[in-house]
Structures are given as structure tokens and as C-alpha cells.
């Protein structure tokens, strides 16, 4: 079997299509629609720079120009856009914006009321301007903390739901609460942001040739403010700092389903793969088929070289039974069938031109990609330099990747010569000279490595700066990405600490035994001091040893996220009850206690103060005598 070279995902070629030119020429200069010159992009760090297509705070009294209410009640009042849906079966929607391949939509949304916690509002990511099916949306339920509180979903041409991704939000949106929501879309890929934080990703946004943006509401009344749509530059195949590894499913999810079939493609898509990597080669009659080996012997119930069999013969082969009985009847897909599936159900293709091809054979592949409207979603790679040269000549807008079993003497120079968006070496070869990654990145070329199924190697490749990994285990890599990204991108939470007892500014006497109580979060240790001296939390403070006046408790919490502190001050006041406590706990003989108690009962505070001073070091300890005298003098002054 030839090297399992599988692909990567370089920079996307510039969008030089007629659609992009048309979108620019047709952009109108209205109060709610602005060009980059008219309205510079927001400097908000949460919003990437780009052409602002639409920005409105709904300060008028009617729907902004270009907004089309399709279903339900929509109106502008009090500086917000209001939309309502009478019941759970009504899908109220309003459309706006323009067709964009790469964009961010953001809005401040608030549920005013809802039939139940499962009702929702959504950002329309791709829907016809008239609101008809099919469309793709990013949904937020009122009960956002449910497992499906946030969703990416599709309304299919059959007017049915296909929910592709679900996730819980960190807190409930509920009703009456403003929530800043956003989605960034690059082709079929999108990221869900909830109050500025990334929550989930998808690679399964169904796209159309002319869909625009919109807002939807179901079984609820919702209002919106500060709506903005920004066109973004095409997503680079070079991984941004902190971004996850690009997940490339080797021959589909080939560890879970028969390779290079629509079944393995579907499992890869559901597992969150960014690209499906498959191989293409022609039949005897020139039809491009998705198959890795030069013969059909290993992965079908037939035999013979692919190029010696007609399309009718290949179509009759069973390509699933060899893998597992329940895949019996799976077929070897044509490239056309694979592209149709990706276009309608979502996903991008890393397509390896397998083996030597003539220019005419490459032209057939390119024409098939074009005829199916997939030039923006196919990345071509090959071990064959001539195949890449032909592809660039025929379709310079298709990104190219060169597969290698060993590193070239000068990968950067070769990348420039072949107009590569990615250089895709075998893992073992790259491990011998990982410095080539930085060299290629400086030249604007991504690095996609094949074929890696080990979590240890995923970690090493991520650390080395690799952009994408071709793997037989795309679902596992996607899960590893999520866990690894969370551990790296989410900083440890800063500790919080609060002294809850005694109450701040409390006035206490010596007869009381307050227990200091401290609450803390995200901390590994908490220290508590009283006037700078360590005291244990949860044990009564011994006020019989303190001087009258103010005293300060200070709690310091430490954790991975740093430190936090809280202080509170209480005042110790001399009272007859507190003075009695000093006397009874003084440890003096009964006769001395009786004398002091008599003076206290007669309110002879000055006499008591003098007596305590005289008895200091005799019938009373010096420390206790000083405190009794101090409190007695304070009471004498007060009276």
C-alpha cells in the first residue's frame, strides 16, 4: 500500500470569485449598512477586524432598511428590535445582511417572555432572504444550562430539523436578562460565543450559494440590541495561537467505518472533523472514484485494478462487508457523490489525487469540483508533483498540499515553486527536524502531519506548532482538542474570599465568643489573622485577652489563579458584663473574686481599677489585672 499520506489544511486561497466581487459592488450605503470606509470596525477586542456589513442599535422607529420580516411580529421600539412567536410551532424570522463565506454575527439578546424553558431565539447563519428552507442557525434556549441550551442546527429542505451540535451555557439566560451572543462562521465551520466566551464549535454548517443572515424566535418574545455583522478574512490554514489542531479524518472515520465511504464520511462529520481526507483516482472510463488502493481487492468484494474496471463494475461492488457485516451494501462513492454529500450535509474535503494522473484526468477532477460548487471547500493534496502543477494551472484558486514521506532538502523553496498552502509530511519524518514548521510558517505555509492516532503525539505536535493532524480517530482528536484547549485557554479562576462572621463594624464585649467564619472559592489555602497574629477559622475568638478598641480580622485565600483578601473590623467595648467575665475567668482565689464582684455590683469602678492595680502580680496575674483595671476605668469614665 502506498504511504498513507493524508492531508492538511493550509491557508485558504484569496476569494477572487465573482460572488465576492458582486457582494462588494452591491453593498449599499444605508444608515444600517456601512462600508469599511464609512464605518470603521469596532475596536472591541471581542470583535475581529473586518468590513462592517451591518451595524445598528435600532434607534429608529421602523425596521432598518434591508430587514425583511418573514414570519411572526417584528417591530422596533424603545431602541430595540422586538420579535415574537405566538406558540412553539411558529418559527418567526427576519432576514438581513448579505451572502458571506467568512463573517461574524453578534447581538445582545433578551427573552421578554417564553412558553417554557425549551423555547429559543437564534442567529441565522445562512438562510434565503425570503426565509424559506433550508437554513442554518445558532440557537439559544431560555434554559441555556440544559445540555442542549445552545445548538447549531439546520432546517432541511424537507422542513425537518437536523441538530448537529449541542452544548450547555455557563448560566441560564432566562427572561429579562441581556446576553451578548455571537457566532463566527468560516464556510461550514462556526464557533458559538456566549457572553464573550467560546462555548462550542461545529464543522457542519449547511451553506448555500446566496443565503444571508437573520434572527429567529420560537414560542417566545425576544428583543435585540447592538446587532452587527462583520465580514472576516478567509480563515488561515496556519493555526492561530491557542486555536485547536485542525482535525482531518483519514479516509473518513476509518477506525469506525469502512474507509473512503459515505458512511465513514458521515461518522467523521458527526465526530467534529474539520476535513474529511479521501483519495481519488479514475475508473477505466474516466469517472473519478474515491478509493485508496490501486486495486479494489482489499476494501471490496471484487478484484482488479481500479483503472481496469468500468464505472458500472465499480458501482456494483460491496465496499462495506469487509469491515463489518452491518456495513454490507456500502458502495465505492464517486467523487461527485462525495461532493454532493458534503455540500448538502456539511464538511470540507482534503482530496488526495492518488497516483500519477494526466492533465486531462486532473481536469476531470477539477471540473467535478467546480460543477458541484465546492471550489471553496476542497483542498487538494498529492505525492505527485505533476498533479499539483496541473491543478494549479487549471484551478489556481484551489489550495494545494504536498504529501511527503521524507522531508525535502528545502521545503520552503519547494512550497513556493508549487504554490503550496500546506506541506504535509509523515509524522516520523517531521519529528527528525521539527524546526521546519517555523520555517514554513514564516513563508505562509501550513503543516499537516499524517497519520497520527496517539494522544501523546497529538500533544507533542500541538506544542511543536503543527497546524493539522490527519488521523484515523477524528472523534477522539476532536475530544482531545476540546479538553486541551480548555486546560490551556481557560486561566485558573481567581480566588474569592469573604469574612462572614463577625459582622463588619460589630461592637462586642468580653463575655461574647464570636466564631470567625470565612467563605472562599477557587482557593487551595486560606489564612486568617487577628491584628496580624494567626488565628484558626471556625474556633471562638478569645476576647478576654484583647485590649478594648478596634481589632482587624484579615483573610487571605491563595490558589492557582492568584490571591484574594478580605478584612473586617470589630470594636471591643468595656461593659459590666464583659468586666464580670474578666473577673470570673481570672483564676483568682474565691476571696479575691468575691471582693471584685462586690465592687462591680456597687458600680465602684474607680475603686475596682485601683484594687486591680494593687493586686497585679499578687492575687491577679499582671495581664489580667491590667485588663480589669482598663475596663473598670473605661466604665468609670462612662458613668
Residues annotated as catalytic (active site), given as ranges: 250, 292
| Residues 579 and 635: beta-carbon distance below 8 Å | yes
Q: How far apart are CA 376 and CA 209, in angstroms?
A: 11
Compute the radius of gyration of the chain from its Cα atoms: 36
* Residue owning grid cell 463588619: 504
Q: How far apart are CA 267 and CA 263, in angstroms?
A: 6
Q: Which residues of 285-309 are buried (b: 16+ CB within 10 A; e: fewer)?
A: eebbbbbbbebbeebbebeeebeeb
In this structure, the number of other CB atoms found within 10 A of the CB of residue 28 comes to 11
Q: How far apart are CA 200 and CA 29, in angstroms?
A: 34
If residue 123 lies in a helix (H) or strand (E), which one and from where to where? strand 120-127
* Nine-digit cell string for 550: 478596634
In this structure, the number of other CB atoms found within 10 A of the CB of residue 34 comes to 20
Residues 6+ apart with CB under 8 A from 463: none
250: three-class secondary structure by DSSP: strand
Q: In degrees rounded to 5, what are phi and psi of residue 565?
A: -140, 160
Bridge partners, residue 551, by sequence = 570
| Residues 291 and 351: beta-carbon distance below 8 Å | no
In this structure, the number of other CB atoms found within 10 A of the CB of residue 519 comes to 14
| Residues 472 and 446: beta-carbon distance below 8 Å | no
290: three-class secondary structure by DSSP: strand
Q: How far apart are CA 200 and CA 193, in angstroms?
A: 8
Count Cα neighbours of 84 within 13 Å in the Cβ-side half-sphere. 10
Angle, helix 385-394 to helix 411-418, in steps of 10 degrees: 40
Amino acid at each position: 500500500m502506498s504511504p498513507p499520506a493524508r492531508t492538511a489544511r493550509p491557508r485558504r486561497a484569496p476569494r477572487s470569485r465573482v460572488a465576492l466581487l458582486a457582494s462588494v459592488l452591491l453593498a449599499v450605503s444605508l444608515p444600517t449598512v456601512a462600508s469599511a470606509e464609512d464605518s470603521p470596525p469596532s475596536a472591541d477586542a471581542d470583535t475581529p477586524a473586518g468590513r462592517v456589513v451591518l451595524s445598528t442599535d435600532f434607534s429608529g422607529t421602523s425596521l432598518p432598511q434591508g430587514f425583511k420580516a418573514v414570519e411572526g411580529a417584528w417591530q422596533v421600539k424603545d431602541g430595540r428590535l422586538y420579535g415574537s412567536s405566538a406558540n412553539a410551532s411558529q418559527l418567526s424570522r427576519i432576514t438581513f445582511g448579505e451572502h458571506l463565506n467568512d463573517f461574524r454575527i453578534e447581538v445582545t439578546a433578551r427573552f421578554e417572555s417564553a412558553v417554557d424553558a425549551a423555547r429559543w431565539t437564534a442567529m441565522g447563519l445562512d438562510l434565503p432572504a425570503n426565509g424559506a428552507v433550508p437554513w442554518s442557525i445558532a440557537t439559544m434556549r431560555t434554559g441555556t444550562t440544559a445540555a442542549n441550551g445552545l445548538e447549531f442546527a439546520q432546517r432541511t429542505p424537507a422542513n425537518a430539523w437536523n441538530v448537529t451540535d449541542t452544548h450547555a451555557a455557563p448560566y441560564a439566560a432566562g427572561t429579562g436578562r441581556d446576553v451578548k451572543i455571537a457566532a463566527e462562521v468560516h464556510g461550514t465551520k462556526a464557533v458559538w460565543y456566549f457572553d464573550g466566551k467560546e462555548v462550542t464549535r461545529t464543522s457542519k454548517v449547511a451553506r448555500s450559494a446566496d443565503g444571508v443572515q437573520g434572527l429567529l424566535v420560537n414560542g417566545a418574545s425576544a428583543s435585540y440590541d447592538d446587532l452587527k455583522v462583520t465580514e472576516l478574512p478567509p480563515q488561515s490554514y496556519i493555526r492561530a495561537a491557542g486555536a485547536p489542531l485542525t482535525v482531518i479524518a483519514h479516509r473518513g472515520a476509518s477506525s469506525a467505518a469502512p474507509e473512503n465511504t459515505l458512511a465513514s464520511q458521515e461518522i467523521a462529520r458527526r465526530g467534529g472533523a474539520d476535513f474529511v481526507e479521501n483519495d481519488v483516482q479514475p475508473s477505466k472510463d474516466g469517472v473519478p472514484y474515491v478509493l485508496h488502493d490501486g486495486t479494489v481487492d482489499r476494501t471490496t468484494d471484487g478484484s482488479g485494478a481500479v483503472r481496469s474496471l468500468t464505472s458500472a463494475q465499480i458501482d456494483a461492488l460491496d465496499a462495506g462487508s469487509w469491515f463489518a457485516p452491518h456495513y454490507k451494501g456500502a458502495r465505492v462513492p464517486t467523487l461527485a457523490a462525495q461532493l454532493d454529500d458534503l455540500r448538502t450535509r456539511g464538511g470540507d474535503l482534503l482530496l488526495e489525487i492518488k497516483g500519477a494522473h494526466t492533465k486531462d484526468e486532473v481536469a476531470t477532477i477539477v471540473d467535478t469540483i467546480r460543477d458541484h460548487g465546492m471550489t471553496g471547500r476542497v483542498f487538494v493534496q498529492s505525492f505527485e508533483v505533476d498533479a499539483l502543477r496541473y491543478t494549479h494551472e487549471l484551478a489556481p484558486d484551489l489550495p494545494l498540499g504536498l504529501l511527503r514521506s521524507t522531508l525535502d532538502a528545502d521545503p520552503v523553496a519547494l512550497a513556493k515553486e508549487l504554490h503550496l498552502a500546506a506541506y504535509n509530511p509523515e509524522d516520523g519524518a517531521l519529528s527528525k527536524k521539527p524546526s521546519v514548521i517555523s520555517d514554513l510558517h514564516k513563508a505562509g505555509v501550513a503543516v499537516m502531519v499524517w497519520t497520527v492516532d496517539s494522544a501523546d503525539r497529538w500533544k507533542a505536535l500541538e506544542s511543536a506548532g503543527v497546524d493539522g493532524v490527519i488521523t484515523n480517530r477524528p472523534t477522539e482528536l476532536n475530544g482531545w482538542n476540546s479538553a486541551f484547549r480548555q486546560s490551556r485557554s481557560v486561566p485558573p479562576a481567581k480566588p474569592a474570599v469573604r469574612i462572614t462572621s463577625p459582622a463588619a463594624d460589630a461592637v462586642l464585649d468580653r463575655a461574647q465568643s464570636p466564631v470567625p467564619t470565612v467563605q472562599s472559592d477557587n482557593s487551595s489555602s486560606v489564612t486568617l489573622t487577628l491584628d496580624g497574629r494567626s488565628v484558626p477559622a471556625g474556633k471562638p475568638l478569645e476576647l478576654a485577652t484583647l485590649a478594648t478598641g478596634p481589632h482587624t480580622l484579615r483573610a487571605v485565600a491563595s490558589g492557582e489563579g492568584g490571591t484574594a483578601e478580605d478584612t473586617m473590623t470589630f470594636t471591643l467595648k468595656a461593659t459590666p458584663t464583659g468586666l464580670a467575665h474578666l473577673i470570673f475567668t481570672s483564676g483568682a482565689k474565691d476571696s479575691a473574686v468575691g471582693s471584685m464582684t462586690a465592687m462591680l455590683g456597687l458600680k465602684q469602678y474607680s475603686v475596682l481599677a485601683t484594687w486591680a492595680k494593687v493586686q497585679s502580680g499578687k492575687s491577679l496575674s499582671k495581664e489580667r489585672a491590667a485588663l480589669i483595671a482598663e475596663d473598670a476605668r473605661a466604665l468609670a469614665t462612662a458613668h
